[in-house]
Amino acid sequence: MFAHPDFDEHERVVYVREPAAGLRAIVAIHSTALGPAFGGCRMWPYRTDDDALADVLRLSRGMTYKAAICELPYGGGKSVVIGDPRRDKTPDLLRAVGRAVESLGGRYIVADDVGTTLDDLAVMRTETRHTAAATAAAKRPLPVTAWGVFNALLACAEHRFGQAGFTGLRVAVQGLGHVGYPLCRFLSEKGARLVVSDLDPARVASAEAEFGAASVPAGAIYDAACEIFSPCALGGVLNDTTIPRLKARLVCGGANNQLASQRHDLALAERDILFLPDYLANAGGVIDFHQESVDDSPAAVLKSVERIRRISAQVLDQSRRTGLRPLAVADAVVRERLDAARR
């Protein structure tokens, strides 16, 4: 474990098994230096246990960085349940997840993620106090991640193209789920021309009808003629194969861990493609959770998420002044805040 390439000094990694409930899960707590670890519960039919481990380690680290860059009083954690949510998810399994969270004594606060829902969190709450979406207003779904990505894109468009919106810009959106689809709406309202892809033909058809989007097959989105590429599906999509195919001058999206490895940040820069760290662009969820304890009205939540535009602009401005890539700038800010908290 300690030599795992994605370990990154995690504080705790817990394997959970409850055969009677059908639960096999891993909970990873990356850091509690700034506060209790916060992060979603992902349910996915991982090909191997090693794949599940790598995913939970990378995702929990990303949650630490999201909270730190946004100056929020939380650390980073994540849980992954190995299984198909369409077939294997049951109330017994969700209650078992809740017991696993409760056993950590408040070190980890669980939220919804890929394969889990706000209703699933309600079931977990029968076994643990440590969940997100516990207030009445928080139970109403809001497109907080998409709104955060949109605000990050506003800062990026001003930095890269010198304009306040997206008029005349083509944006290729990969993935039309809970992030990608509402992001298309926000972009379309600000004048963007959209190219979209998704594995679900119905979602593609809906985007074509509602936003006038052009569509391409899922594997062809990297070749789309566009100024902006916005990955909003799974991670690892920026790699040795896909980066040489990109036509975009800017990459900013909602997917976690978009870079297959850290070296691909340099590969993008060598092609003069600006990359905004995904953990900054998609930090809307952790901001939403924090806002629950301040003012959880929808308007207040979305207003709070808009800080992502300001922070993105600060990172990009410092990048321009120093010559460092935005990822290096943001990483340095995060490490400084974590080190100060530990001291």
Q: Which residues are catalytic?
A: 78
Is 20 strand, coil or helix?
A: helix
DSSP 82-136: ES-TTTT--HHHHHHHHHHHHTTTTSEEEEE-TT--HHHHHHHTTT-S-BS--ST
CB 45 within 8 A of CB 314: no
Residues present in the chain in total:
343
Query: Can you read off the two tokens belonging to residue 247?
Result: 């036509």
Q: Which of 14, 146, 141, 36 is nearest to 81 (CA)?
A: 14
Q: How many other CB atoms are there within 10 angstroms of residue 320's CB atom?
A: 12
Give the whole-angstrom CA distance, residue 335 versus residue 326. 14
**Segment (H or E) for 52:** helix 49-69
Q: Which residue's structure tokens are 């590969």?
A: 267
Indicate the DSSP class of residue 276. -
**Beta carbons within 8 Å of 81's beta carbon, 6+ residues apart:** 23, 24, 25, 41, 42, 43, 44, 93, 97, 115, 116
Identity of the amino acid at 284 = G
Tell me which residue of 144, 167, 164 sits closest to 155, measured CA to CA. 164
**Partner residues linked to 274 by β-bridges:** 250
With the CA atoms of 289, 186, 243 and 257 taken in that order, what torsion angle do they form, in degrees rounded to the nearest 10?
10
Rounded to 10°, the helix 144-161/284-292 angle is: 130
